[in-house]
Structure 1
Amino acid sequence: MNPVNLTLVVVLGVVSIVLVAAFSERLNVAAPLSLVVAGIGLSFLPGVPHPEVEPELILAGVLPPLLYSAAVNMPVVDFRRNIRPITGLAVLLVVGTTLGAGWLFHELIPDIGWPAAFALGAVISPTDAVAATSVGRRLGLPPRLLTVLEGEGLVNDASALVLLRSAVAAVAGSVSVWGIVGEFVFAVVVAVGIGLLVGIVNVRVRALLGNAVLNTAISFVVPFIAFLPAEEAGASGVLAVVVAGLVTGHLAPRHLRATDRLAEAVNWRTAAFLLESAMFLLMGLSVKTLIDEVHDDGSSVWRALGIGLAASALVIVARIVFVGPLVGGLYREQRKAARFKPRLETTQAVLRGDESNPAVTERLDKASPRRVAHFRKRLDRAAADVEFRLTETLGWRGGVVLGWAGMRGAITLAAAQTLPQDTPDRALLVLIAYVVATTTLLVQGMTLPAVIRAARVPSEDPGRLRREYVRLTTELADAATSLLDDPGLEDPGNGPFGDRVVDRVRSDVRVPPASPGDRPAPEQIEQYLRLRLRVLTEQSERLQHARSSGAYSSEALSRAQTALDVEMARLEQLADRPIS
């Protein structure tokens, strides 16, 4: 394809994506579903280009930034609190689906052999959370359910691709069962180590730049900096990307400027939207090409359709069956938390001095103040986790939605295209994977809103969120007031702050806002900016402490962080300009 035609295809693709997304909002339909349907329709029109994208480009060029973008916005506390259901869905269910689907494919297509059957099972095992979460957010699903779906989508690609790699190696007869287990453990451990290192170095290095454009430019290559070394080491590149994103999102508020974070967030949302949408559009456009390849290979399209529908039923039923015990385990976890809560409250009361317990008091007297502070912090975090398990429950209603939200997506099709060219009936297998991805995406995606309404999943209580947000902002205002009331407060190198400057800043941080004080004189504006930024920094540090304690929901923390970032970014821009 010459450069002019390539440019035309890209322009038409972006325009089509925007138009379909805008139209989907009016129809109240998830954009990924509309893009797939539009792509399928366009693929049969004469004259419409069918761009051929190498599957390795999607898995190594598109998947890392998409996972990184999602991981950066995933609160580490939420991921940690939901690690059991996420691990269950993203690892155990993926392994079980791979084995079950592999058996089905071997029974229906015995000529392909067990390794190729399991390879195709690994291809159709990971879910795509984009469509499910877009529908869920629009219909007001509770935050914990959305977190589980997003967390599953972050991790299950890594599990499936590791299994696919092992199954492809088994086609050549070069792997054993214990070899697969060892490779899986190695892939996880090394990927986590690389992801941690890249995430920490990423934040530290970008904190030195002080330029939003340069900062965002560096952030665009971070996913590949994590992905490539992990893949070269034989580990899971996508898991390394996820870990790097989680670490970056957790550390960024402490080290990166608000201006940099806001600019990066907007740019990444735009990039992720275009990449996700392009993948779903390409998924639809590829149907005609896949059908032609099956015809050229001498296979039957109807056979592929039948096997694909059978595999779709298997993956749907397997997920529903798996979610039942998963929700039961969460219920047992909730009952355990209810039994543990009184003990926690008693210990906290002893630490506050409200109650006495000779055994606990004696141990505290022997401990150093640092160890006592560390123990208090861990206790507060444990109490917040217990409260989370008691209030943020899934229940059988959430389990119904979780069981039905198992749509596959474009990653399934891209992974299928990576099957070796000498795989028996390769064209047939790729089309089967496409049928599974399209069937689950359209059938479950189209009916998910009805399932959510029928299950009557309780949505987030806006009143509770509002009260929690007020409580959090009041705590941040108290932190600012404590700083301003400090008798030793000074402007480094310039002596004490002027009274009018302090009064003006004090009026800016009151909750609810008080009447503004006198405006600082022109010569005091720079001093006002320095003090206001210092106060906002103090509030940001208090917010990070509140985040690590787990005492507030991620929604309240995110709103407060955004409010601080917007104000800090505005003042940072003013502080960077000379004041005349």
Structure 2
Amino acid sequence: MPIQIFVVAMVLAGAVLLGRFVTGRTGIPDAAAYVLLGVAAGLLPGMAGVRLSPDLVLLLFLPPLIYYAAFFSDPRETIHNLVAVLGQAVGLVLVTAAAVAATLLAVFPDVGWAAAIAFGAAVAPPDPVAAGSVLQRLGAPRRLVTVLESEGLVNDGVALTLFAVAVASVGAPASAGDVLTHLVVEVGGGIGFGLLVGVLTAALRRRIRDSTSQVLLSLITPYLAFVPAQLVQSSGVLATVAAAVWLGTRGRGLVEPTSRLQTETFWRVLNTLLVALLFVLLGIQVPSIVAVVGYYPPGLLAVASGAVVVVAIGVRMAWVLLVPSLAGLLPVREELTSRMTFRERLVLGWCGPRGAVSLAVALSIPLVTPTGQEFPRRDLLLFLTVVVVLVTLVGQTVPLPFLLRRLQLRPDEREQTEGVRARRATVDAALRELDDVAARDEPDPPGAEALRQVLELRRDRLRDQLDPGSDRGRTTPDDDRDGDGDDPRPDRLDASDLRLRLVNVERDMLRTLHEKGEISRPTMVAISQELDLDETQLRRRR
């Protein structure tokens, strides 16, 4: 038994490492590469017994993945696209579930509406990780990524709620009152409990100074929100989102820069590892699930699979292309609707790959109904879920780079230069602080003049990058602060107190730019992490 566990662990680790290598060399989307390698691993001897437990996904993987995405999300950008986000996270999930259920019933009428809706809820919510990573890597317009990621924070909760209601109704139809009560408890209870966890965690983080304890507390926070909410029949997804958004918008200033830098670095590594493992495990399940439905006529399976896939993709495409035109007629403020172009909506409609959550939900379909009867065609529902996941995950993410290039979608001039403009504003603020020091006749600390020269050099280079005629190129929020890793850094000067003072001035300016809406949250977080690194290095050398 220990040898088998060791072999499985080595296969998983090898698939993850190979997936990183393949995606880095070929440009294939991460999720597609991991799933395909997982399918290949599932064919190896001894791997057929590896099972992806739905509890493992819903209780171990899902909370930290949701927490990471919500923590670094931008609520302000989400509000600016609120109609599109809610329309796709709620309306599109419900419509997709109904359309898929109707399609399934047309081929297998004996499944019944409740079981068909349960299946529809499983395959309705897209996984934003697979497509979102491609969009970010290729530099798609920010509102595309914002709508896709914001949709992904809510649609899992909607789908899981609908799934729970449908499964409970198989063989024992629920009344409209029961359904409404269930929805209120799921949504309201989840959001309320998540906010409570966020407030209490923020209060606790104020009193903790140890970096390791801060990392540990941040790790258990999503589970503190998700698991208890699930136990009281509320939405663990919405609870985790609420806690993460509260801490992300209120909690970054609660901890020391060193602890914040270590915590955020830990989460980036953990998120990458969890995503890779989850998609590899998803692929490993494919051979065993396909083998279970061998007694069905191949032609019937092909018809059902094709129909369900076409409907799942087509409904999303139709919704994204047609509904925004109708949403413009709603009596809502214009700033709450995303004014996307047709090309942007076309890409957003295509970004609907299903992922591990869909498979985990399908795997959680019970063997028997609440009345004790065998659940209708459970093996078939699992097989069709695998087909939808594989076709959309590979078939929609692999052509996505070509689609973006073909449609010539890229960030506008303001988005492209946002990081440079923010860095220049922080440098200007630091130089003004140096001028104020001189104006107050304070004695210049050692290294002050050299520090001024470094800041002026950085400002000049940032100005060159903003010049449309410059051939230096433009930076993004993830670029180096000064655009050149070989530039002299202020941490080489012997003026620690003054440099720390200027770092705080730059941080204040960065916060002001974000509060005024001049920069996005990803830009603020990226530059803030650079300032945290500067401060950490300075304090270590004092």
Interval containing the TM-score (normalised by the shorter chain): 0.7 to 0.9
CA distance in 1, matches of 2:300, 2:390: 16
| Alpha-carbon shift at residue 241 of structure 1 (Å) | 1.0
- Stretch deviating more after TM superposition (131-140 or 549-558): 549-558
Task: Kindly provide the CA deviation profile for residues 106-152 of structure 1, in whole angstroms up to 9, marking residues without a partner as x.
Answer: 23222222111110110110101122122222332111101111112
Residues 292, 485 of structure 1: CA spacing in aligned structure 2 closer, same or farther, 3 A cutoff? same
Report the AA paired with residue 141 of structure 1. A
Residue 449 (structure 1) shift: 2.6
1:322 corresponds to 2:274: no
Q: Which residue of 2 aligns with 1:500?
A: 446
- Written as runs of structure 1 = structure 2, the 5 A alignment for 1:15-164 is 15-164=14-163
Shift of 1:397: 0.4
Question: 1:378 corresponds to which residue?
Answer: none
Q: Which has the larger radius of gyration?
A: 1
Partner of residue 447, structure 1: 399
1:331 to partner: Cα distance? 6.9
Tell me whether 1:562 sits opposite 2:529 in the alignment. yes
2:229–2:236: 8 Å Cα contact kept in structure 1?
yes
Q: CA deviation at 1:178?
A: 3.9
Which residue, out of 490, 513, 524, partners 1:546? 513
**Structure 2 counterpart SS, 1:220:** helix
Higher mean C-alpha displacement, 169-178 vs 507-516: 507-516
Distance in 2 (CA, whole Å) between partners of 1:82 and 1:421 is 41
Percent of aligned positions that are identical: 30
Cα pair 2:138 2:401 within 8 Å, conserved: yes
CA deviations 1:377-425 (Å, max 9, x no partner) are xxxxxxxx69xx8xx9520001111111111111111100111102111
For residue 210 of structure 2, what is the aligned residue in structure 1? 211
SS in structure 2 of the partner of residue 51 of structure 1: coil
- Tell me, in whole angstroms, the C-alpha distance in 2 between the residues paired with 1:184 and 1:31: 35
CA displacement at 1:467 relative to structure 2:
4.6
Distance change >3 Å, CA 519–CA 547, structure 1 → 2: closer
Secondary structure of residue in 2 paired with 1:184 = helix
Q: Which residue of 2 aligns with 1:460?
A: 411
Structure-2 residue corresponding to 1:13:
12
Residues in 2 aligned to 1:31 and 1:240: alpha-carbon distance in whole angstroms: 28
Show structure 1 runs of 5+ residues with no match.
Answer: 338-384, 491-495, 576-580
Structure 2 spans left out of the alignment, 5+ residues: 369-374, 461-486
Q: TM-score, normalised by structure 1?
A: 0.79
Residue 436 (structure 1) aligned with residue 435 (structure 2) = no
Deviates more, 1:94-103 or 1:245-254: 245-254
After superposition, residues 52-451 of structure 1 pair within 5 angstroms as 52-173=51-172, 175-295=174-294, 298-300=295-297, 303-328=300-325, 394-422=340-368, 423-451=375-403
Q: Give me the whole-angstrom Cα distance separating, in 1, the residues matched to 2:535 and 2:205.
A: 18
Partner amino acid, structure 2, of 1:404? W
Query: For 1:131, what is the secondary structure of its paired residue?
Result: helix
TM-score by length of 2: 0.85
In structure 2, what residue type is equivalent to 1:570? Q
Distance 1:194 1:530, change over 3 A: farther
- Alpha-carbon distance in 1 for matches of 2:157, 2:393: 20
Quote how far apart the aligned CAs of 1:513 are: 5.6
> 1:473/1:26 Cα in 2 relative to 1: closer, same or farther (>3 Å)?
closer
1:468/1:429 Cα in 2 relative to 1: closer, same or farther (>3 Å)? closer
2:491–2:538: 8 Å Cα contact kept in structure 1? no
Amino acid at match of 1:566: L
Tell me the C-alpha RMSD between the 2 structures. 3.2
Partners of 1:517 and 1:164 lie apart in 2 by 55
Aligned residues: 509
Q: What SS does the aligned partner of 2:174 have?
A: coil
Give the conservation status (yes or no) of the 8 Å contact 1:505–1:531: no
Name the residue aligned to 1:532: 499
Pick closer, same or farther for the CA change 1:534–1:184 going to 2, 3 Å.
farther
d(CA) in 1 for partners of 2:217, 2:324: 41
- Measure, in 2, the Cα distance between the counterparts of 1:516 and 1:44: 54
Partner secondary structure for residue 446 of structure 2: helix
Aligned equivalents of 1:219 and 1:36: distance in 2?
Answer: 29
Deviations 1:351-376 (A, max 9, x none): xxxxxxxxxxxxxxxxxxxxxxxxxx
SS of 2:398's equivalent in the other structure is helix
Stretches of 4+ moved more than 6 A in 1? 330-333, 487-490, 514-521
- Partner residue of 2:426? 476
The question of whether the paired residues in 2 share the 8 Å contact of 1:43 and 1:286 is answered with yes
Does the CA contact (< 8 Å) of 1:119 and 1:168 recur in 2? Answer: yes
The answer to whether the Cα contact below 8 Å between 1:400 and 1:455 also exists between their aligned partners in 2 is: no
Please list the CA deviations of residues 200-250 of structure 1 after superposition, one character each: whole Å capped at 9, or x if unmatched: 333342343233322212211111011022212321101111222222222
The Cα offsets for residues 422-460 of structure 1, whole Å up to 9 and x where unpaired, read as 211111111111111112112222222332233232x12
Instruction: Report the Cα distance in structure 2 between the residues aligned to 1:212 and 1:94, rounded to whole angstroms.
Output: 41
The answer to whether the Cα contact below 8 Å between 2:427 and 2:455 also exists between their aligned partners in 1 is: yes
Using the alignment, how far apart are the partners of 2:455 and 2:78 within structure 1? 32
Aligned-residue offset at 1:162: 0.6
Residue 4 of structure 1 is matched in structure 2 by 3
| Cα separation, 2, equivalents of 1:466 and 1:109 | 51
